[in-house]
Amino acid sequence: KAGVTQTPRYLIKTRGQQVTLSCSPISGHRSVSWYQQTPGQGLQFLFEYFSETQRNKGNFPGRFSGRQFSNSRSEMNVSTLELGDSALYLCASSLDALGTEAFFGQGTRLTVV
Amino acid sequence: DQQVKQNSPSLSVQEGRISILNCDYTNSMFDYFLWYKKYPAEGPTFLISISSIKDKNEDGRFTVFLNKSAKHLSLHIVPSQPGDSAVYFCAASANTGNQFYFGTGTSLTVIP
């Protein structure tokens, strides 16, 4: 079956703009989580959605937001982009909400100039 | 505050030998632990996991050991192969949903 699909793969934006990233989870999976990876840092948890509800949120400013649709697809939005937002954004798909496994997409590489 | 730590940024091992990657955590509420492998420009790939009720889990060449009293886990790869060269991340969750805490990764190089 198809894996986790993230679009676009690469994105270049200028400071102050906003951006929307998309994630389609594995078919049947109801949980989608988002992570930010920057050089020297591990993966930092942004938020998790399960059945269209945000269940957990990491320590990121309110410029970072997300949503999940009824078909489990999720979008992440970052407003008023800053240079420090340049990172690899990863989406993870989980079947349930038990915290036992997560399957990652290939990520969206965002560069803010 | 980094709740999951991988103190060795890199590791080099000869092909055929054992690779041991280490991970420490601080949160005693963590009850599930995972290892992921990551190549550049790709997302992490799930390798193996372990529940806190176990102290060992094996899958082929990969074995994960958990020492709850020391808050330490390790991943053993035997025998190591050049294709194992990648960055390895350990992750933990606290049964509060799919919020995983990741270490900063260890870059493994297996030398042919």
User: How far, in Å, CA of B98 to CA of B112, rounded?
Assistant: 38
- With CA atoms as reference, report the closest residue to A68 among A49, A87, A82: A49
Structure tokens at A32: 């989608």
Contact A65, A58 (CB under 8 A): no
In order, the DSSP letters of B21-78 are EEEEE--TT--EEEEEEE-TTS--EEEEEEETT-SEEEETTEEEEEETTTTEEEEEES
Closest partner residue to A106 among B6, B43, B93, by Cβ? B43
Query: Could you give phi then psi for residue B2, rounded to 5 degrees?
Result: -80, 110
**Pick among B99, B101, B106, B107 to test the A interface (most A CBs inside 10 A):** B99
Percentage with pLDDT > 70 across chain B: 98
Average pLDDT over residues A40-64: 91
Return mean pLDDT, chain A.
Answer: 93
pLDDT band at B7 (very low <50, low <70, confident <90, very high): very high
Closest Cα of chain B to A80: distance in Å?
25
**Pick among A6, A10, A41, A43 to test the B interface (most B CBs inside 10 A):** A43
Q: Which residues of chain A lie closer than 8 angstroms to B102, CB-CB? A: 35, 42-44
- For residue A106, what is the nearest residue in chain B, using CA coordinates? B43
Closest partner residue to B102 among A43, A99, A107, by Cβ? A43
- For residue A30, what is the nearest residue in chain B, using CA coordinates? B98
Q: Do B95 and A58 touch (CB under 8 A)?
A: no
- For residue A107, what is the nearest residue in chain B, using CA coordinates? B43
Structure tokens at B49: 């996991």
A44 pLDDT exceeds 90? yes
Give me the pLDDT at residue A39, please: 81
Min mean pLDDT across A5-9, A78-82, B28-32 is at B28-32
